[in-house]
Chains A and B, each alone.
Chain A
Amino acid sequence: MAQVPLLFEMGSPGRAGYRVPECDVPKKPLEELFGADALRKEPLPLPELSELEVVRHFVQLSRLNHGVDVGFYPLGSCTMKYNPKINEDAANLPGFARLHPYQREDTVQGALQLMYELGEYLAEIAGLPRVTLHPAAGAHGELTGLLLIRAYHESRGEGDTRREIIVPDSAHGTNPATAAMCGFIPVEVKSNERGGVDLEALKKVLGPQTAGLMLTNPNTLGLYDENILEITRLVHEAGGLVYYDGANMNANMGISRPGDMGFDVVHFNVHKTFSTPHGGGGPGAGPIAVAECLAPFLPAPTVEKDADGKFYLDYDLPQSIGMVKGFYGNFAVLVRGYTYIRMMGPEGLRRASEDAVLNANYLLARLKDYFDVPYPRICKHEFVLSAKSYKEKHEVRTLDMAKRLLDYGYHAPTVYFPLIVDEALMIEPTETETKETLDEFVQAMIDICEEAKRDPETVKTAPHTTPVGRLDETRAARQLDLRWRGSS
C-alpha cells in the first residue's frame, strides 16, 4: 500500500480551488492597520491545490483508518461497540443541533427535558439518586467525583486529615492520576490470587487518613470482585467514600448496580457503554451519579423540573464545587446516549450486557488453550491473556502478535495492561459482534500463534500490509521533531 503524500508535497504554484470576490470596500494598507513590524517579510508556504486534489487527499487518508464501521475492534477496556446510526439522526435534528446555550429556558424545554430524563435513566442504572451530565469524558468524571469527595470531607472538617485515596494495582492509570490531581495521595493496594482486592491488604491501609477508594468492577482483568460488599463496608467503616470507575459498566447494565454494591460516586463513559463515537480524542461524555451525601456539592447548574412540569437550570447551589465545564456538558453526545437508551429500553440494555459477557467468555474459551490465562475464571465483558510462553520459547512478544493482527485486518487488543499481567493482551469483543466475526478472529489468533512457532520472523517484523511498518519509537522519542520542513 502506498503512502499518501502530504498536502505540502503536492500541488503547483498558482493553483487554487477557490476564487475570492473583488473587494467592495475601500482598501487600507496593512502596514497602517497592523504596523509594518507585525507583517511577514515572505508569504507563508501554503499548499496550492485544486479542490479535487484536496478531496482525494482526505478521502484516501480516511480509507486508511480503522474504525468499528470497517472491522472488528477488540480493544479491551474501551468498549468499541457499534454506534447505531439513529443516534446521529437524533443528534442532527435541527431542534438539538442548532441550539444556542444562551437561549431562554422556555425555548429549550425539549433539550432540558432530554438532559433531565437522561439523568433519571443514569441514576436508575447506577442505583444512585443524583446525576450531573457536565464532565466531558471518563477521566473528567473521575476528577469531578473526587472533587465532590474532597468537598464532602471538607464540609465535615476533615479535609486536612483525609488525604489518601486507595487504588488497587489493577486500576486504570487515570485513577491514581486523578487522585494526585485533586491533591490526594494515591495509595496502592495489592490484588489477591483471584484477581480481586486483597482484603487484608486493604484493612492495613484504611484509617482516619482515608478519603476514599477508587475501584472498577468488573476490574481491568474483566473479573467481578466477589468481596465488593465487604470492600465498600470496610471503606465506609473507616469514614471514606467509594468511587466506581464506570469504564466497565458494559458488563453490568440492568444486572448489578454500583449503588447497591455500596459505591457513592459512579462515572459513566457514554462513549463506551451508551454507543456514542469513541476515539480520535473525543468528544466524549462522562456523567457522574452520586449518593445523597454528595448531592449538595454537584457542579452548577443542575437541570430541575418545577411543580408545573417546566424544566429549568438551577444555579442556586451554595455548596457546589462550581462549574467543571462550559455550559452543560457535551450536549450532542448526550443526545446520542439518550437515543441509545431509549431505543434499547431496560430489557435491551440488560441483554446487551449479557451478550457482551457471553461473547467475551466464548472468545476466552476458544483461546485459552493457545495462551496463558493468568486468572482462569468466568470473565465479564473482557478478559486478559498472556503471551509470555511465546516470549520465552520463540522470542515473540505480545507487541509482535498485536502488530501481526493488523495484517489480518483487525485492530489490536489492548496490550501490556493491566500491568500486573506479564505480556498482557486484553480483549473485549462487545455485544455487537456476530459469532462468525468472533470465529474469524479466533482463527486469526490461532494462525498467529502457529506463525510464532514456525516462522517467528514474520510475526516479529509485522505489520507487512500497512502503509508504514514498525515505527522507530526510540528515535522518535530521542529526537523529537514535530515540524515539517520539506525534503529540499
Chain B
Amino acid sequence: MYPAELKYTEEHEWVRVEGNVARVGITDFAQKELGDVVFVELPGVGDSIKAAESLGVVESVKAVSDIYSPVSGQIVKVNEKLEDSPELINQDPYGEGWIAEIEVEDPKELEGLLTAEEYQAIVEG
C-alpha cells in the first residue's frame, strides 16, 4: 500500500528518486479516493516547475484534481501511455501509472518529503 522505498507528499503524490531524477505519481490511496481515472493532463517535457506547483491534472468520474509537484526542477520525461490508458493510474499507481520524471534542482527539497510511515499515519490518521 505504501512502498517503503518511496517518498510522499501530504497531497498524495509519491516520488521515486534515482540519481538526480525523481519519478512522480499519485498514491494508491489517492487513486482509490478518486475512483476510475478517465483523463490525465500531462506537463510538457522541458517545462520548469517549482515544488507545490501544479504538475498536471487527473480527472476521474468523481472529481478533477491537480497533481502537485513534490520537487522543483525540469520535466525530463512524461508517461505518454496515460493519454490513451488513464486507467493505468488505477491499476498500477506505483508502477505503470507513473506520471512524470523531474530532474531535481535542489536535492535538499527531498528531505522535506514524508516517509511511508509518516504518510500512512496521515491517511489513516
Contact = CB atoms under 8 A, between A and B. Distances in A.
Interface string A459-488: 000000000000001100110000000000
Contacts of B86: 478
B62 A474 contact: no
A478 B38 contact: yes
Contacts of A474: 36, 38, 61
B87 interface: yes
Nearest to A478: B38
Contacts of B87: 478
Contacts of A416: 62
A474 B85 CA distance: 12
Interface in B69-111: 86-87
Interface residues of A, number: 5
B2 interface: no
Nearest to A479: B38
A473 B36 CA distance: 9
A416 B86 CA distance: 24
A416 B62 CA distance: 9
Contacts of B61: 473-474, 477
Interface in B19-64: 36, 38-39, 59, 61-62
Contacts of A473: 36, 61
A353 to B, nearest CB: 34
A477 B61 CA distance: 7
B103 to A, nearest CB: 30
Contacts of B36: 473-474, 477
A477 B39 contact: yes
A444 B110 CA distance: 53
A473 B38 CA distance: 10
A128 B64 CA distance: 38
B50 to A, nearest CB: 17
A478 B61 CA distance: 9
Contacts of A477: 36, 38-39, 59, 61
B15 to A, nearest CB: 26
A113 to B, nearest CB: 47
A473 B63 CA distance: 12
Among B39, B59, B61, B86, find the residue whose CB has the most chain A CB atoms closer than 10 A: B61
A180 to B, nearest CB: 14
Nearest to B59: A477
A474 B87 CA distance: 10
Interface in A66-105: none
A455 to B, nearest CB: 24
A478 B38 CA distance: 5
Contacts of B62: 416
Nearest to A477: B38
A416 B59 CA distance: 16
Contacts of B59: 477
A416 B34 CA distance: 13
Nearest to B36: A474
B77 to A, nearest CB: 24
Nearest to B62: A416
A186 to B, nearest CB: 14
Interface string A280-291: 000000000000
Interface string A408-430: 00000000100000000000000
B121 to A, nearest CB: 19
A142 B38 CA distance: 31
A416 B33 CA distance: 13
Nearest to A474: B36
Nearest to B90: A474
A287 to B, nearest CB: 31
A474 to B, nearest CB: 4
A477 B38 CA distance: 6
A416 B87 CA distance: 23
Among A416, A473, A478, find the residue whose CB has the most chain B CB atoms closer than 10 A: A478
A473 B35 CA distance: 11
A416 B35 CA distance: 14
Nearest to B35: A474
A68 B79 CA distance: 48
Nearest to B39: A477
Interface in A383-428: 416
A395 to B, nearest CB: 13
B73 to A, nearest CB: 26
A478 B37 CA distance: 9
Nearest to B85: A478
B63 to A, nearest CB: 9
6 contacts: A416-B62, A473-B61, A474-B36, A477-B36, A478-B38, A478-B86
Interface of B: 36, 38-39, 59, 61-62, 86-87
Nearest 5 pairs of A and B residues by beta carbon? A477-B38, A474-B36, A473-B61, A478-B38, A474-B61
Given A477-B38, A477-B39, 12 more contacts: A416-B62, A473-B36, A473-B61, A474-B36, A474-B38, A474-B61, A477-B36, A477-B59, A477-B61, A478-B38, A478-B86, A478-B87
